[in-house]
A and B are shown apart, each in its own frame.
Chain A
Amino acid sequence: MKILTAIQPDGRQAADKLLLWAVFVLSAIGVVAVYSAISFLADTRADGNTERFLVQHVLRVVFALGVMGFFSIVNYHVLARFARFFLLFSLGLLVLVQITGVITGGAARWLDIGIIGFQPSDLAKVALVLYVAVLLTAKQGYITSFTHAFLPVFFWILLTVGLIGVDDLSTAALVLLSVLVMCFVARVPVLHIVAVGLVGVLLGYALLLTSPARAARVEAYTGMKLFPHTEAQDVFSSQGERYQVEQSKMAVAAGGLFGVGPGKSTQRDFLPAPYNDFIFAIVTEEYGLVGAFVLLGLFMLILFRGLFRVARHAPDPLGLFLAVGLVVMLTLYAFVHVGVSVEVFPVTGLPLPFVSWGGTSMAAGGMMMGILLNISRHIE
């Protein structure tokens, strides 16, 4: 940490310590929670060798922190120069995924690059935030213009979100929401934002119609039969689509105030992907309401510290837009993840940043937090 904050190739002061600590604590919680939650997977895939997964997770955490450290010392203005290239590159990867995607979890989200599966949407979302911030900054003078500001900005937004959304609707929705918040802060007319939002909703609905599995989740969440192409029996039974959310709520309830204790989760044997999509539920089961509120508190800390310390005092509009976009996206991820666990949102497989098992998502988190920390070095 000393190294991260002391080396100042540019910037006026050390990176924000509270943000840094929040990430460290989240990662630490993540290591312990994933170690416990992975046991079911370890039993089925590695003969109970949980340690192998622990080591793997710790290596990923170290890698993500390294990524964070790297981006925290790279001036975000330098990054901004390559923003367009990043975006085009990641869009290219997204297209590639569609062609040669490794099928996992029913959606082609992964790009297998030898050693690890790589999820291009994680890269694309960061690149989009970066590029949108650049565009918004460049077009501040005529931001209300439909042709000069609206069209170029939203061309890229919808293109990226659309490509992500083909296979990962929830991520697409989150990314869209995050960049719309950036646009809002960048004084893009609300009318334009609402219009894009509506287009996003229509796009989402269209995607739901193409996939019964997705539609069923939404129906299960709303408790209403909305789509013609789903089976009511599967949607509303506790063994069907309701299974995950029921199990998740059971895990949350099982924790009580102080939890059942580290490593004593029973719900990890029943929740699908407990180490990833339901890590919040596992933390709550093992550490109780205390654990749940610590997690929520840490993300609230990131939210407020990011908005009011970094974004508000950012030295230039680029820093401001970028910080808002990054903070909103990070915390939105966290809140939607939690919301899935407690039946506020429909079931979707979103990781909890820095906590969940999952290499690219953690690296993307490290990247976002790194950029945010870099901005925090420049605040006035």
Chain B
Amino acid sequence: MYVVATLMSLLPVVLAVNVLRISLVDGADLRQRVDTQSTSSVTIAAMRGSIHDAAGRNLAVNVRTWTLAADPTVRAARADMAAWSADIARAARLPVARVRQQIRNRASSQYAVIARDIELPASNMEALSAIDGVRLEEGFDRKYHHGTASSHVLGHVDTDLRGISGLELLYDDVLTGTPGRQEVRRDRMNRRSFDVGLVRVEPEHGESITLTMDLVMQEIMEQELARGAEASGANWGVAIAMDPRTGAILGMANWPTYDPNNPGAFPVAAQRNHAINDLIEPGSTFKLISAVAAVEAGQMSLADTVDTGIGVEVRSGYELRDTHTLGRVTFREVIQESSNIGMARIADQLDRGRFYAYARDFGFDQPTWVDLPGEESSRVKRPDRWSATTASALSRGYEIQATPLQMLTAYAALANRGVLVRPYVVAARHNAEGRLLWQATPEEVRRVFSRETAEALIPAFEAVVDSGTATQARLDGVRVAGKTGTASKYVNGSYSQSRYRATFAGFFPVEDPTVAMIVIMDEPRSSIYGGAVSAPVFRNIASRWLSAFPHLNATPVPVPDDAPVGAPAARPGSGAAPGAGTQRGAAAQPVLAVAERMETAPKRERPEALLAEGRMPNVTGLSAREATWLLMSAGTEVTLSGEGLVREQWPAPGAALTASARLVLRP
């Protein structure tokens, strides 16, 4: 009995020792394995941020999509492949041949993507998911609601929704956000289950981006550029506009353009943003820099005369030509008539270092640092590497390479009376909850030349439009200044006699410029001249902008930089960039939304004017956001009901403003 008891009690002792050994000696390692095998984590996708125009319209958004995939190894498929694929084709409304082809060409044996991004009625979706072996996978896709509009600025994304060009690329990190993660329990059949107390990291959805550009302005620009480019038979055309005071880009259009929803359907050349990706010899538009240098150096005034001879001059072995003989003309006329010989004569007298210094101060030795990816850096030769011809070549825009945007900033500097500003396209960034994270502040790069020089030169550039080479850029009732350029292209080692780039760069209104714009056409065929090809495009864009957005000509009301927030006329509709009051460019844009609506109701009194008089404006037809901003800017509390557009309002239009207003919305 005692033998039995002893032997039997040995057993639990052995067991206890083993339990202790496992728990204490091998414990750490085994516990680690428990954690590894029992948890796994599921990624919670972060939504890619959207991109809005200045008025808050969605330019790029994420949409939910369905991918149709099938496993052709399921029993139903093996039994009768023909019937099975026919079922799928019928439910998916696809040709049977295509379904079969996709199944045949699948990459892995049990998974064939039949179609991506399918859009079907619910009944078809149900029918599809009822078919054995069919998988409908949910995903996100990027949609650019306005197609080609501002495509070169927006850029596009790849199939994994990672930006590969434009803002999508530059701001990819902030747009992408950070995916979250949910730790889940898994069991030996690899089934996952959620459990309380497991780590959950919420995804950080991507930030949304608000542009400085307004969709309507952009579309006008693109239409006019396309029209002009097609009419002139150009290879490509580019138009860029910016607010010369702030640097906010107002429009950036390329022709040919492409649809970022389906970039593969367009040639790569169409996806090129010539505004920043192309280095070109600017030609005569560069005479601005020569003129600034000459005036600042004190060697020329506009009234001084230059002898341009008979319009042909041979210098250091090459021939310099004017379009027509001018004889002895004033400096002003040299600009006005774009005399190459006259400019070269002036440049002859310029100190090389000084000339170079001005080019450099205009920023021609670096990029503009606009917030778009892939910007080329402009190039200008250092004076110690200049040849005998460089000074005269440079004076009329050769032997220098600059992007179209770079040229535009130079004209913006003239419009801004000598102060160069950095161009930018992103006005603000908001997080997924709509909180403002970052806001662009206009950045003055430097004062390149004095206000006096600017005031002295502007009349010459105005004369270019009034009576010089760019009369086609003239606008009714708005003073425009600018300069044409007709640059011979450097092809195969020599300057071509048949291929040119036609440019017009200018700004308006001259008194207090709100827009500086450049239009370039590559190899136009109808005419080679900037004044004939590009200036009309400039005019068409400008006149349509001015009629749609009258504030662009709101000359006598300069808004000082430190204007108190809430100047009523400028505030409504700035929902996309609330509090953009420090920024004059943005301050000008909010009315755009209102103005756009006014196109459809042209007879309505301008709401800002009524507000200024302390009377209730007619806000019917506006969106809730626009109406609310408009009224709140006048200090009126707004009560909304319904959704859609404003259909009824109290107080009635024209009545005295009260402390509160009620709006009824209907779709």
Q: Which stretch, B9-17, B159-167, B332-340, touches the partner chain A?
A: B9-17
Residue ID in chain A nearest B189 by CB atoms: A44
Report chain A residues within 8 Å CB of B19.
252, 284, 289, 292-293, 296, 338, 342
- CB neighbours (8 Å) of B78 from chain A are none
Q: Verify if B79 is at the interface (C-beta below 8 Å from A).
A: no
From known contacts A289-B19, A296-B15, infer whether A267 and B34 are also in contact, taking CB-CB under 8 Å: yes
B27 touches A338 (CB 8 A): no
A287 to chain B: closest CB distance in Å?
12
* Nearest CB in chain B to that of A288: its residue: B23
Give the interface residue-count category, chain B. 20 to 34
Q: Is the CB of A266 within 8 A of B8?
A: no
Complex: how many Å from CA A292 to CA B9? 16
**Residue among A250, A289, A296 with the highest chain B CB neighbour number at 10 A:** A250
Closest approach, in angstroms, between the C-beta of B566 and any C-beta of chain A? 59
CB pair B30 A249 closer than 8 Å: yes
A21 interface hit (Cβ, 8 Å): no
- Against A, the Cβ 8 Å flags (1 = close, 0 = not) of B5-41 are 1001101101110111011001101110110011000
Given contacts A253-B23, A293-B16, contact A303 B185 (CB under 8 A): no
Check B15–A338 contact: CB distance below 8 A.
yes
B8 touches A331 (CB 8 A): yes
**From residue A295, how far is it (CB to closest CB) to chain B in Å?**
10
Closest to B33 in A: A250
Interface centre among A40, A44, A252, A289 (most CB of B within 10 A): A252
State in angstroms the CA–CA spacing of A296 and B8 once bound together: 12
Q: How far is the CB of A266 from chain B (nearest CB, A)?
A: 4
Q: What is the minimal beta-carbon distance from B545 to any residue of chain A, in angstroms?
A: 65
Residue of A nearest to B5 (CB): A307
Q: Across the interface, which residues of B come within 8 angstroms of A299, CB to CB? A: 12
B29 to chain A: which residues have CB within 8 Å? 253
Are A335 and B12 also in contact (CB < 8 A) when A270-B188, A344-B18 are?
yes
Pair A269/B18 contact, Cβ less than 8 Å: no
Are A249 and B22 interface neighbours, CB within 8 A?
yes
In the complex the two chains form, is B4's CB within 8 Å of A328's CB? Answer: yes
Residue of A nearest to B27 (CB): A253
Contact of B23 among A44, A252, A308 (CB under 8 A): A252
- CB pair A269–B30 under 8 Å, yes or no, is no
Q: Is the CB of B26 within 8 A of A339?
A: no
| A255–B1 touching, CB < 8 Å | no
B126 on interface, CB distance cutoff 8 Å: no
Tell me which residues across on chain B come within 8 A of A249, comparing CB atoms: 22, 26, 30
Please classify the interface of chain B as helix (H, G, I), strand (E, B), loop, or mixed, using the class held by over half of its residues: helix
Cβ-defined contact, A254 with B31, below 8 A = yes
Which chain B residues lie closer than 8 Å to A362 at the CB level? Answer: none
Task: Give Cα A249 to B23, complex, Å.
Answer: 8
B613 interface contact, C-beta 8 A? no
The minimal Cβ–Cβ distance linking A42 to chain B, given in whole angstroms, is: 12
List of B residues within 8 angstroms of A266 by Cβ: 34, 38, 185
Pairwise interchain contact B5-A254, C-beta atoms closer than 8 A:
no
Q: Tell me, yes or no, whether A82 is within 8 Å of chain B by CB.
A: no
How far apart are the CA atoms of A31 and B185 in the complex, in Å?
A: 24
How far is it, in angstroms, between the C-alpha of A44 and the C-alpha of B187 when the chains are bound?
11
Size class of the A contact interface (CB-based, 8 Å): 35 or more
- Please report the C-alpha to C-alpha distance between residue A159 and residue B4 in the assembled complex, in whole angstroms: 25
- Interface status of A379 (Cβ within 8 A of chain B): no
- A residues 323-361 touching B (CB-CB < 8 Å): 324, 328, 331-332, 335, 338-339, 342-344
Indicate if the CB atoms of B5 and A304 lie closer than 8 Å: yes
Scoring B12, B16, B37 by chain A CB atoms within 10 A of each residue's CB, the highest score goes to B12
* Contact mask for chain B residues 189-210; partner A; CB cutoff 8 A; 1 contact, 0 none: 1010100000000000000000
Tell me the number of A-to-B contacts counted with CB atoms below 8 Å.
109
Q: Which of A250-271 contact B (CB under 8 A)?
A: 250-257, 266-267, 269-270
A181 at the interface (CB under 8 A from B): yes
- Which of B12, B15, B191 gathers the greatest number of chain A CB atoms within 10 Å? B15
- Whether A213 sits at the interface, judged by CB under 8 Å, is no
Chain B residue nearest to A253 in the complex (CB): B30
Asked whether A307 lies within 8 Å of B4 as measured between CB atoms, the reply is yes
A292 to B21, CA, bound (A): 13
Contacting B at CB under 8 A, from A281-308, are 284, 288-289, 292-293, 296, 299-300, 303-304, 307-308
Q: A289-B19, A292-B19, A308-B5 are in contact. Are A254 and B185 (CB under 8 A)?
A: no
A254 and B1 CA atoms in complex are apart in Å by 38
Given contacts A304-B9, A308-B5, A328-B4, contact A269 B26 (CB under 8 A): no
Q: Are A328 and B23 in contact (CB under 8 A)?
A: no
Q: Which residue of the partner chain A has the closest CB to B18?
A: A342
Q: Are A303 and B27 in contact (CB under 8 A)?
A: no
Query: Do A342 and B5 touch (CB < 8 A)?
Result: no
> Across the interface, which residues of B come within 8 angstroms of A311, CB to CB?
1
* Chain A residues near B191 (CB-CB < 8 A): 43
Give the distance to chain A from B81, nearest Cβ to Cβ, in Å: 33
Q: Which of B1, B20, B22, B186 has the most CB of A within 10 A?
A: B22
CB distance from B166 to the nearest CB of A (A): 48
Asked whether A185 is an interface residue with its Cβ less than 8 Å from the other chain, the reply is yes
Say how far B41's CB is from chain A's closest CB, in angstroms: 15
Give residues of chain B (268-295) contacting chain A, Cβ–Cβ below 8 Å: none
- CB-CB < 8 A to B27: which residues of A? 253, 256
**CB under 8 Å from chain A, chain B span 16-68:** 16, 18-20, 22-23, 26-27, 29-31, 33-34, 37-38
Q: Which residue of B lies closest to A289 (CB)?
A: B23
State how many angstroms separate the Cβ of B24 from the closest Cβ of chain A: 9
- Cβ of B34 and Cβ of A253 under 8 Å apart? yes
Query: Which chain A residue shows the least CB distance to B187?
Result: A269
- Closest beta carbon of chain A to B438's beta carbon, Å: 44
Residue among A254, A296, A344 with most chain B CB within 10 A: A254
Is the Cβ of B18 less than 8 Å from the Cβ of A324? no
Which residues does chain B contribute within 8 Å of A303, judged by CB atoms?
5, 8-9, 12
Contact B15 A339 (CB under 8 A): yes
Return the chain B residue nearest A252 by Cβ: B22
Shortest CB-to-CB span from A292 to chain B, Å, is: 5
Query: Smallest distance from the beta carbon of A175 to chain B beta carbons, Å?
Result: 16
B40, chain A: closest CB distance, angstroms: 12
CB distance from A270 to the nearest CB of B (A): 5
Output the least CB separation between A239 and chain B (Å): 10
Contact partners of A184 in chain B: CB under 8 A: 3-4
Q: How far is the CA of A44 from the CA of B9 in the complex (A)?
A: 40
Q: Specify which chain A residues have a CB less than 8 angstroms from the CB of B9 in the assembled complex.
A: 300, 303-304
Please tell me if A225 contacts chain B, counting CB pairs below 8 Å.
Answer: no
Alpha-carbon distance A181/B26, docked complex (angstroms)? 35
Find out whether the CB atom of A296 lies under 8 angstroms from the CB atom of B30. Answer: no
Q: Say how far B144's CB is from chain A's closest CB, in angstroms.
A: 45
Contact partner, A40, options B8, B31, B187, Cβ 8 Å? B187
- Given A269-B187, A307-B5: A335 and B23 interface contact (C-beta under 8 Å): no
Cα distance A307–B30 in the bound complex, in angstroms: 37
Give the distance to chain A from B540, nearest Cβ to Cβ, in Å. 70
Q: Is A139 part of the contact surface with B, judged by Cβ < 8 Å?
A: no
Contacts of A335 in B (CB 8 A): 8, 11-12, 15
B461 smallest CB distance to A (angstroms): 78
Which of B5, B14, B191 gathers the greatest number of chain A CB atoms within 10 Å?
Answer: B5
In the complex, what's the smallest C-beta–C-beta distance from A27 to chain B, in angstroms? 20
Q: Does A84 contact B (CB under 8 A)?
A: no
Residues of chain A lying within 8 A (CB to CB) of residue B38: 266-267, 269-270
15 A-B pairs (CB sep. < 8 Å): A44-B189, A181-B4, A252-B23, A256-B31, A267-B38, A269-B38, A269-B186, A270-B37, A292-B16, A300-B9, A303-B5, A307-B8, A338-B15, A342-B18, A343-B22
List the interface of chain A (C-beta within 8 A of B).
40, 43-44, 181, 184-185, 249-257, 266-267, 269-270, 284, 288-289, 292-293, 296, 299-300, 303-304, 307-308, 311-312, 324, 328, 331-332, 335, 338-339, 342-344
Closest 4 CB pairs of A and B: A269-B187, A253-B30, A342-B18, A266-B38
Known: A288-B23, A335-B12, A338-B15. 14 other contacts (CB 8 A): A184-B3, A250-B30, A250-B31, A250-B34, A252-B30, A253-B27, A256-B27, A270-B37, A289-B19, A307-B4, A307-B5, A307-B8, A328-B4, A342-B18
